[in-house]
Structure 1
Amino acid sequence: MARIFITGSADGLGALAAKALIEQGHEVVLHARNAERGRDAMARNPGAAAVVTGDLTDTAATIALASEVNKQGAFDVVIHNAGVYQVSAKEIFAVNTLAPYILTCLVQKPKRLIYLSSGMHMQGSAKLNLFATDVNRITYSDSKLHVLMLCKAVARKWPDVYANALDPGWVPTKMGGRGAPDDLQKGYETQVWLATSGDAAAQVSGRYFFHQKERPYNREADDVLLQDQLLQQCAALTGVSFPQ
């Protein structure tokens, strides 16, 4: 049995992944934005061990959330599932780029880290020069490239951790919309597999997956200099340094 923490698990893919992992017998701690959504999360997955709350649009609240997560004890797996799409650029940057960075730095290091990117990252660019000047020009696609860059930086700096990213597909969740064409079940199965599988294909690091298969990705994510600049820019903005 693994101990697993999943951000953004009140609904959507996070809730579905939590349900599948609980059914497999794992101990799952959920995360929701506020107390009301926390109650909803526990109602959806009553077998969960606990729920922690924290608004990822707020840096101070995200830092406080990391402390609450650590009070739950060490985790074997952390799934950075939370993400936003049709909101302001400032919120996209806070939730999709800064929050996974902060939580990666401050939550006790697990054995496996899983980051939800998106196929849309292929159209993104790093735009690191805008972090301190104009985040309103950072797009969803850019933020999901940042997620992949963070994943690859973690895989490089923490060789004792399996850190991988994935594209869940365009699936019919509240975020994806009812008309989304991809398979909802396949949308959460990859993170469940990466979290718990003993398959050699899942026990890798710094890779990018779609439906349990490695996929081509934006090669800008492989630029080590850009990766390190991303960590430095995030540290400057949040006051949270990446642990060496």
Structure 2
Amino acid sequence: MVTGSADGLGRAAAETLLRAGHEVVVHARNADRLSALDELIRAGAGAVVGDLAHLGEMRDVAEQANRLGRMDAVIHDAGVLGSRAVLPVNVVAPYLLTALMQRPDRLVYLSSGMHYSGHARLGGLDWSGGRATGSYSDSKLLVTTLMAAVAARWPDTLSNAVDPGWVPTRMGGRGAPDDLRLGHLTQEWLATSEDPDALTSGGYWHHQRRREPHPSVHDEHFQRDLLDELARFTGVGLT
């Protein structure tokens, strides 16, 4: 399953995986966005629909996915930039889908090199998106920390985060200098490859190379506090 697959990196990853013969479930924010995925659905992709900026629709996406069956891998590719929804979409949704969906073999979270400038703080954050209390960089630091927390708590699930680089998508802009193909290659590799490097967990990756993330990512106290905050807000703990 690939969230945020109506366009950008998510769309590219879903198309590539489908062409390679994998069973793929795509995700769109609403019915209008789903129409952009008609070609993939005609080619055999399953689909789930829901706006990941809203808690109730996050839950519904998880329920739709569970009705389709347990996923081998989930790529959390949906993301927003410069919006009050940056925390709900970039952090809360990956957490809640992780907590509510049947546990897959592999989880891939979309990070960014911008996570290095994120603030390792949780106080005062409005997880609902009602107020703009966190930046894009903050959200990417938090979701990368979520990846590490899941890796530490679920040893039987491979959990990794990917920095795709600054690539020419709608979010990145047409002038972005990085390679679009390399931007989604690592996600697909971590989701499907039997390469020994891809069968590791707790990594922060850029173009199939493991890098050291922000020091707070592997801080066990920060991981625990983040999980506690997300459980408090959503009413769902990560068990």
TM category, shorter: over 0.9
Do structure 1's residue 65 and structure 2's residue 74 form an aligned pair? no
Do structure 1's residue 55 and structure 2's residue 51 form an aligned pair? yes
User: TM-score normalized by structure 2?
Assistant: 0.96
Counterpart in 2 of 1:99? 93
Structure 1 residues 71 and 44 mapped into 2: Cα distance closer, same or farther (>3 Å)? closer
Counterpart in 1 of 2:112? 118
User: Structure 1: how far apart are the matches of 2:210 and 2:89?
Assistant: 25
Do the aligned partners of 2:126 and 2:132 also contact (CA within 8 Å) in 1? Answer: no
Following superposition, the deviation at residue 44 of structure 1 comes to 5.2
Instruction: Report matched runs for 1:16-165 at 5 Å.
Output: 16-43=12-39, 46-88=42-84, 91-131=85-125, 136-165=132-161
Gaps of 5+ in 1: none
User: Structure 1: how far apart are the matches of 2:189 and 2:178?
Assistant: 18
Following superposition, the deviation at residue 97 of structure 1 comes to 1.0
Following superposition, the deviation at residue 45 of structure 1 comes to 5.8
User: Structure 1: how far apart are the matches of 2:34 and 2:96?
Assistant: 21
User: Structure 1: how far apart are the matches of 2:36 and 2:132?
Assistant: 32
User: TM-score normalized by structure 1?
Assistant: 0.94
Q: What count of residue pairs does the alignment treat as equivalent?
A: 237
User: Structure 1: how far apart are the matches of 2:78 and 2:126?
Assistant: 23
Do the aligned partners of 1:117 and 1:165 also contact (CA within 8 Å) in 2? Answer: yes
Give the aligned CA root-mean-square deviation in angstroms. 1.4
Gaps of 5+ in 2: none
Counterpart in 2 of 1:178? 174
Following superposition, the deviation at residue 63 of structure 1 comes to 0.9
Counterpart in 2 of 1:242? 238
Instruction: Report matched runs for 1:204-223 at 5 Å.
Output: 204-223=200-219
Following superposition, the deviation at residue 59 of structure 1 comes to 0.6
Counterpart in 2 of 1:15? 11
Do the aligned partners of 1:120 and 1:144 also contact (CA within 8 Å) in 2? Answer: yes
User: Structure 2: how far apart are the matches of 1:217 and 1:166?
Assistant: 11
User: Structure 1: how far apart are the matches of 2:169 and 2:76?
Assistant: 17
Counterpart in 2 of 1:167? 163
1:237 is paired with a residue whose SS is: helix
Do the aligned partners of 1:80 and 1:100 also contact (CA within 8 Å) in 2? Answer: yes
